[in-house]
Amino acid sequence: MNQVYQISLIACLIFAILLFTGLAYSSIIFYKEKEQRAAFRSLLLCLLLPPVYFISWYYNWQIVAFVLTLDLLFTGILFFIPFGKKENITDEAPKNQIDERDIMFARNELKENTKRYEEYYSKNPDKLAPDNKFREEPGLTAEKSIFYNELACKAANASFFTVEQFHKAVDGKINPIQSNVSKTDLSKFLKNWSKKLGALNVGIAELQNYHFYSHKGRGEEYGNPIESKHTYALAFTVEMNQEMVASAPQSPIVMESAQQYLEAGRIAIQLAQFLRSLGFSARAHIDGNYQVVCPLVARDAGLGEIGRMGLLMTPNEGPRVRLGVVTTEFELEADKRHKDHSMLDFCVKCKKCADVCPSKSISFDEPKTVNGVKRWQINSESCFTYWCKAGTDCGRCMACCPYSHPDNFLHNFIRFGIKNSSLFRILAVHLDDFFYGRKPKSANLPNWIPENKKAQK
């Protein structure tokens, strides 16, 4: 037994050093991330916890050291040994196609006293009252909105304008002479070139019927059935800047969203044109001009899971990304998707996005069966109405999601524990609340964006 006690004493010394180093390192990381609360609390723990282990070793408190060592062993089991795997949290495939005319962005484009307006609400009278609520608000980037900032909002509009210029280039002429490139070589080339162009993560999916909208809901093709012979899709993410997102729902969030929609559009246009030059039909799917439901395609390409807030949750950036998709007739090498049950289980336990949502549009409940499919569904009407009131695309859920923390060693270490253990997922929720707060305040605007609502003349 004395040997066990001696081992316990040595373990306490080693852990005191590791704990001090880890908490000190965490304090530095939090400070660099401008998370003052987290940095202070980490520093406080750094001063309080390691001495308990060090003193036990120094004064030869064998019984205390033994108990502390058992605690260390339990923590190791909790963190490193996979258990508590919960499956079937959500269903995989929607049973029906989504009609783009029903999404909020399409309904927002309907103008009173027009044929489209009259036809849509005659078929969907239940949507008129909630839609009239968002029409009463100033609108996205509008001057009378809550978070209007002239420079940021006009910068966002400039990005949205540029994306619109891309719309006419999503499709185009196909080279009549087809390349004889192999699917292995082309798939590898597309993935690596996408990253060189600025994509963060890239995947390939074999297209299914539910990936496509049933009808176009925006632009000149409004109401047209979507018919495509494309069988494969390359999906990619672009990262949204953490500092810009952290200030949500203030104006930088819409500025950053617009910028990354633009980046995703630029990359998708280049990839689609490249494929057409090889002699293969290809189409880019970019903001405001989609034929596919990008989150579903990206999920099936292995880029993440669709979580409680209805956004694609990626492993290292969470929902803090924007998506681009290119579809093609060429048979690419599809990635095999491995459903991340741990991420979905974390969404079940966390509920932070629901707590911080200003419009209370995110459900606290378990996934429910909607149109025959078990999933989470947000209240898109109340969400979009708040957008129109705030003048930004809010992003509060995105900013506060624990998965949105920067992609670095500290946060990836926590993500490792989340992926391995159901019990650690519970602990991780409480740790995030302890360091960041259950309802953290919005970060200040970046110092290069003026606080005043209108630019100085």
Is the pLDDT at 456 greater than 50, yes or no? no
Q: CB–CB of 190/184 below 8 Å?
A: no
Q: Render pLDDT for 129-143 as a digit per residue (tens, 0 to 9).
A: 999 999 999 999 999
In this prediction the pTM is: 0.93
**pLDDT cut 70: percent of the chain above it:** 96
CA atoms within 13 A on the CB side of 366: 7
- pLDDT tens string 166-225: 999 999 999 999 999 999 999 999 999 999 999 999 999 999 999 999 999 999 999 999
| pLDDT number for residue 457 | 37
Q: Are residues 104 and 134 in the same domain?
A: yes
Residue-wise DSSP of 12-65: HHHHHHHHHHHHHHHHHHHHHTT-HHHHHHHHHHHHHHHHHHHHHHHTT-HHHH
Angle of helix 2-32 relative to helix 62-80, nearest 10 degrees? Answer: 60
Question: Edge-to-edge strand order for the sheet containing 232-239?
Answer: 201-206, 232-239, 321-328, 282-285
Q: Is there a single domain that holds both residue 137 and residue 231? A: yes
Residue 156, in any domain of the structure: yes
Report yes or no on 346 lying in a domain.
Answer: yes
Kindly report the three-state secondary structure assignment for every residue of 355-373: HHCCCCCCCCCCCEEECCE
Same domain, 53 and 190: no
Q: Which domain holds residue 109?
A: 100-399
Same domain, 49 and 146: no
Co-location of 206 and 282 in the same domain: yes
Statement to judge: residues 129 and 74 lie in one domain: no
Residue 455 covered by a domain: no
Query: Rounded distance, CA 250 to CA 312, Å?
Result: 22
CB burial class (10 A; 0-12, 13-18, 19+) of residue 136?
exposed
